[in-house]
Amino acid sequence: MSLSAHHTAPPTQVAVIGGGSWGTTIASLIATKTPTRLWCRRAEIAEEINEDSTNGQYLPGFSLTPGIVASVDMAQTLSEADVVAMAVPSHVFRGVMRKVAGHLQAGIPVVSFSKGLEQVTHRRMTEIVLEESPFSQAGVLTGPNLAREVLAGESAAAVLAMQDTGLAKVLQPLFSTEAFRVYVTDDVIGCELAGALKNVVAMVVGMADGLGISDNTRAAIITRGLEELTRLGVAMGGDPATFAGLAGLGDLLATCLSPHSRNHFVGEQLGRGRKLDEILDSMTQVAEGPRTTGAVMELAEEHDVYVPIAAELQAVLDGERSAGVAYRHLWGELSAQDWGEQPVARPSGR
Which residues are designated catalytic? 198
Contacts of 102 (CB under 8 A, 6+ apart): none
- In sequence order, the β-bridge partners of residue 156 are 180
Beta bridge partners of 141: 160
C-alpha span between 328 and 344 (Å, rounded): 27
Query: In the 3-class helix/strand/coil scheme, how is the chain assigned residue by residue?
Result: CCCCCCCCCCCCCEEEECCCHHHHHHHHHHCCCCCEEEECCCHHHHHHHHHHCCCCCCCCCCCCCCCCEEECCHHHHHCCCCEEEECCCHHHHHHHHHHHHCCCCCCCEEEECCCCCCCCCCCCHHHHHHHHCCCCEEEEEECCCCHHHHHCCCCEEEEEEECCHHHHHHHHHHHCCCCEEEEEECCHHHHHHHHHHHHHHHHHHHHHHHHCCCHHHHHHHHHHHHHHHHHHHHHCCCCHHHHCCHHHHHHHHHHHHCCCCHHHHHHHHHHCCCCHHHHHHCCCCCCCHHHHHHHHHHHHHHCCCCCHHHHHHHHHHCCCCCHHHHHHHHHHHHHHCCCCCCCCCCCCCC
